[in-house]
Each structure stands twice: as structure tokens, then as C-alpha cells.
């Protein structure tokens, strides 16, 4: 069987694969992208980031209308179904696919649909949907196959009342009650979404606090507001078994507790899609969760085979995956690394209200013995927040007492994932460009949420002596 030859073959068309493909082709390389699904975009576009955030927005819009027009609440509840809101998400997915498909067409990247497996270090065989096999050879490969929800043995995901974070989007209607096992980012986001729909939610956390990687004050605020909305949070619990019935699901916990709900959502971790790629035969290391081991240049133990995105593990963010793909392609084309550019990546968590964080937390700075100070801006005091009615939340700046360098930015509230980028632009500068005084000496539009930076900076500087 003859093989088609390329300079670079990319496995996967999600954010990491797209970043690698576009950088390589724009650098003059002949590129082929292999995508297992019928449409480009990967899990980010089809089952994770895009549909879940579009669903959240649709739910939030429904809630806003109900709050602004209480006389319509009952009517809207009767006539707005879960399927209606998922229709909005599906529309966004379709637009994203159309857009991203044009990237490949316009840049003349060859797209092959099928499942790839390494035959040897320079050849992959692609089994297409109808069973035909094609061989592709290349000087370099980028594995960007993403991840999927981790599924433990003993949980029957074929049962119509048991879901993971992919299949939950296929619900035909909103349940009355739900158990969510796993209180990481995905678990918290879905707990917030379904509670906004009026679903009774039990959020089971295997740890002692929510999202412990966040600044403690932000984590505490999330816990408070989820409870205020009616989510029952159960910390330090471990599952024994899930018992599905025709009309319910019962969760048995090691503590002896038993929880019952209409549906069960497993949201406790993801696994890298590295299985059946033929990596083991090449000597490429994969950990217990399917994550491929790479160096700072995203090279595997076979130097011309790279891996990026969720399949390499943390930070497992779409934003980071784009950069990783671009950095890997830069290393292929130019032989240099840009890894330092991803040192500080903002975290966006789409609960209600949103959370976004960048840099170090108070806990980390205290443990490191860094002399820092804190500046707060509470949204309830901002004119723009009062106008929009989105008064829940705050912006928190951590800065060095002596150099005034910004060390951490933490935001909780409406549009936090947008607000964070103002501070990110300053924090990314080398000192003295990175300094809290920038926010004092800069004129912000009024009234805006951006003004929170000036308020927080003044609040923090007033604590210096």
C-alpha cells in the first residue's frame, strides 16, 4: 500500500490540533490533520466547552427574563424546555464548526476523517468510517487527541439515568433532582446551571473544600453562593456504588449515607485519548489516566512526535491547548521553544457568578514568605454593577508591598472571565511595567466594570504604611 507524504501530520482538530496545524501550514509546511469525528473542533466544540457554555448562557437569559418579569415566570417555565435551550447551544456549535472548517480549507490543510494509529515512528494508518485504510508518512507528528470523561468500572453509563459530562447534554428534559459526584470545575459548573433551572442538586465533593486551587476567599465565596442558591454540598465523601432504578438513582457513600435523585452525573476527572494509538510500541510513556508524557517543548520520548492539549494533562484548558499546539509547531519548524509564554494562564470557571483567576493565591504567597498586600473592589459599590443589577462579586488584587508588582488577580462575579484580562495585560509586563500604580494613573471609562481595578488598587495602596 502506497503512503501519502506530508511534512507534519496532526492527530486531532480540537484547539491543540488546530493551533499546531495552522502554525505549521503558515510556516510553509505541507500539513495533514486527521480527525476521528465527522466534523472538526474536537470535544471542545462538540461535547465540552462550547455547548456547555452556550447552555449556561441560555439558562442565564431565561432566569434574567423571569426576574425582570415575574408575571411571566410560570408561563416561561411551562413553555421553555431543556431541549429549547440545547437548541441554542447546538446552533452555536454549528457556527463554530463552519468557521473552523474554513480555516482548514483556506489554508489548504488536508483533512482526513478516520481513526489514526502509528504503524511505525514515521507512519500512521488511518481507518476511515467505511473501513478503508490509508497510510500517511511525515517528518513530524503532533498528537492532539484530547480527553474524555473518566468512567470508573462498576458504574453503568448505559443506564438512561446515569450520565457523564458528555452525555448530560443529551438530556431530553430537565430532571427534578440530580446528584453530581465530583466537585471540580465541571461539577461546580453543572451544579450551578441545573440549580438555576430549579433542579434539586446534591454536589458530592471528595475533598474538604471546593476548587482548592483557587484563592481561599474566592473558594469560600463560591461555596456560599452555591448554598445560597440551594445546592447541597457534601464534602469529604467517597462513592461505594451507584444503584440505578427505573425511576431513580441511589448513591451509596463510604460514610454510610445514601442519596437518591432522578439522575446521577459523574463529573470526577477525565482521561487522555491515548488508547489504541500504537504509542506503547514506540516506547512513548502514558500514565494511568492516559496522559502522554512530554518535555517543555511538548516532545514525547520520540523527539519528532509531539503531544499537546488535554492528552498531556494539566492545565487542560482550551486556551492553553491552542498555545501548546502553536508552540509545538514552532519547535518543529524553527527548533525553538516558546514555553515561557504560557507561564500564567487565566482560569475561567463558568459557575454563576463566574470565577477567573491568574497568578498566585494568598496561601501560596504566605507559604513562600512574600510580603504582599491585598486590594478589594466589591461589585456592589460599582456604578456599572448597580445599573446592570449584577452586584454580587469582587475583584481582588495581590501585590508586593515593596515593589508594588502585581502577584495575583482573583475575580468572582458577572463577566469575571472578561474582566481578568485587563489585569493580565499589566501583570504580563516585566517590572516596572507590572505595577499596581498603573491602575491609579490610568483613566477608565465611567461607569464600567473595568473601574474595579482603580478601586481595588486604591483600596490596597491605602493599606501600605
Which residue in 186, 154, 151 sits closest to 252, CA to CA?
154
Domain range for 409 is 353-462
Q: What's the order of all strands across the beta sheet hosting 406-413? A: 347-349, 355-359, 406-413, 393-400, 372-378
Domain endpoint, select from 249, 268, 287: 268
Do 64 and 212 lie in a common domain?
no
Note the maximum CA span of the chain: 76
C-alpha distances out from residue 250 to 176, 261, 265, 281, Å: 15, 7, 12, 42
Look up the pTM and report it. Answer: 0.94
Do 264 and 205 lie in a common domain?
yes
411-420 residue pLDDT tens: 999 999 999 9
Is residue 154 a part of any domain in this protein? no
pLDDT at 66: 82
Torsion angle defined by CA atoms of residues 52, 54, 55 and 57, in that order, rounded to the nearest 10 degrees: 120
3-state SS, residue 348 = strand
210-244 residue pLDDT tens: 999 999 999 999 999 999 999 999 999 999 999 99
pLDDT < 70 stretches in the chain: 77, 79, 338-342
Is residue 155 a part of any domain in this protein? no
Sign of the dihedral through C-alpha 288, 290, 295, 301: positive
What CATH number should be reported for the domain holding residue 319?
Answer: 3.50.50.60
Do 21 and 133 lie in a common domain?
yes
Mark out the alpha helices in 208-317 (DSSP H runs): 216-229
User: Average pLDDT of the chain?
Assistant: 95
Query: In this prediction, what percent of the chain has a pLDDT beyond 90?
Result: 89
Answer yes or no: are the C-beta atoms of 199 and 174 closer than 8 Å. Answer: yes
pLDDT at 339: 63
Cα separation, 137 vs 7, in Å, equals: 8
Do 142 and 27 lie in a common domain?
yes
**Structural domains in the chain (count):** 3
Is residue 156 a part of any domain in this protein? no
29-52 residue pLDDT tens: 999 999 999 999 999 999 999 999
Do 320 and 372 lie in a common domain?
no
Q: How many residues does the chain have?
A: 465
Do 141 and 10 lie in a common domain?
yes
pLDDT at 456: 98
C-alpha distances out from residue 14 to 20, 94, 143, 238, Å: 10, 15, 11, 33
pLDDT at 69: 80
Do 12 and 138 lie in a common domain?
yes
Do 238 and 250 lie in a common domain?
yes
pLDDT at 88: 87
What CATH number should be reported for the domain holding residue 455?
Answer: 3.30.390.30
Answer yes or no: are the C-beta atoms of 218 and 357 closer than 8 Å. Answer: yes
Amino acid at each position: 500500500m502506497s503512503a501519502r507524504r506530508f511534512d507534519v501530520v496532526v492527530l486531532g482538530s480540537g484547539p491543540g490540533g488546530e493551533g499546531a496545524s495552522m502554525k505549521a501550514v503558515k510556516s510553509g509546511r505541507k500539513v495533514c490533520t486527521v480527525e476521528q469525528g465527522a466534523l472538526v473542533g474536537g470535544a471542545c466544540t462538540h461535547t465540552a466547552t462550547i455547548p456547555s457554555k452556550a447552555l449556561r448562557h441560555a439558562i442565564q437569559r431565561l432566569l434574567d427574563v423571569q426576574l425582570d418579569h415575574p408575571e411571566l415566570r410560570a408561563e416561561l417555565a411551562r413553555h421553555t424546555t431543556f431541549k429549547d435551550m440545547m437548541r441554542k447551544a447546538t446552533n452555536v456549535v454549528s457556527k463554530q464548526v463552519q468557521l473552523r472548517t474554513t480555516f482548514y480549507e483556506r489554508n489548504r490543510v488536508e483533512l482526513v476523517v478516520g481513526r489514526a494509529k502509528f504503524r511505525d515512528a514515521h507512519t500512521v494508518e488511518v481507518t476511515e468510517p467505511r473501513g478503508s485504510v490509508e497510510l500517511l508518512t511525515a517528518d513530524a507528528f503532533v498528537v492532539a487527541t484530547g480527553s474524555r470523561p473518566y468512567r470508573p468500572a462498576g458504574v453503568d453509563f448505559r443506564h438512561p439515568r446515569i450520565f457523564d459530562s458528555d452525555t448530560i447534554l443529551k438530556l431530553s428534559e430537565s430532571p427534578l433532582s440530580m446528584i453530581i459526584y465530583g466537585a471540580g470545575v465541571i461539577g461546580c459548573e453543572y451544579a450551578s446551571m441545573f440549580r438555576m433551572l430549579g433542579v434539586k442538586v446534591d454536589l458530592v465533593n471528595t475533598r474538604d473544600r471546593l476548587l482548592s486551587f483557587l484563592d481561599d476567599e474566592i473558594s469560600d465565596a463560591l461555596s456560599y453562593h452555591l448554598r445560597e442558591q440551594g445546592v447541597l454540598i457534601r464534602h469529604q465523601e467517597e462513592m461505594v456504588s451507584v444503584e440505578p432504578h427505573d425511576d431513580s438513582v441511589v448513591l451509596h457513600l463510604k460514610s454510610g449515607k445514601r442519596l437518591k435523585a432522578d439522575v446521577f452525573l459523574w463529573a470526577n476527572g477525565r482521561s487522555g485519548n491515548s488508547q489504541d494509538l500504537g504509542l506503547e510500541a514506540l516506547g512513548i510513556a502514558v500514565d494511568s489516566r492516559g496522559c502522554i508524557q512530554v518535555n517543555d517543548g511538548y516532545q514525547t520520548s520520540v523527539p519528532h512526535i509531539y503531544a499537546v492539549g488535554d492528552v498531556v494533562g494539566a492545565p487542560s484548558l482550551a486556551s492553553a491547548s491552542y498555545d501548546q499546539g502553536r508552540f509545538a509547531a514552532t519547535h518543529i519548524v524553527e527548533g525553538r521553544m516558546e514555553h515561557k509564554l504560557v507561564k500564567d494562564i487565566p482560569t475561567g470557571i463558568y459557575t454563576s457568578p463566574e470565577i477567573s483567576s491568574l497568578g498566585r493565591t494568598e496561601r501560596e504567597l504566605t507559604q513562600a514568605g512574600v510580603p504582599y498586600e491585598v486590594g478589594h473592589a466589591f461589585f456592589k459599590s460599582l456604578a456599572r454593577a448597580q445599573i446592570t443589577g449584577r452586584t454580587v462579586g469582587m475583584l481582588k488584587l495581590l501585590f508586593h508591598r515593596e515593589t508594588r508588582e502585581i502577584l495575583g488577580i482573583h475575580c468572582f462575579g458577572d463577566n469575571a472571565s472578561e474582566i481578568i484580562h485587563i489585569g493580565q495585560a499589566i501583570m504580563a509586563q516585566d517590572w516596572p511595567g507590572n505595577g499596581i500604580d498603573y491602575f491609579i494613573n490610568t483613566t477608565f471609562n465611567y461607569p464600567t466594570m473595568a473601574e474595579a481595578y482603580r478601586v481595588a488598587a486604591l483600596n490596597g495602596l491605602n493599606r501600605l504604611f
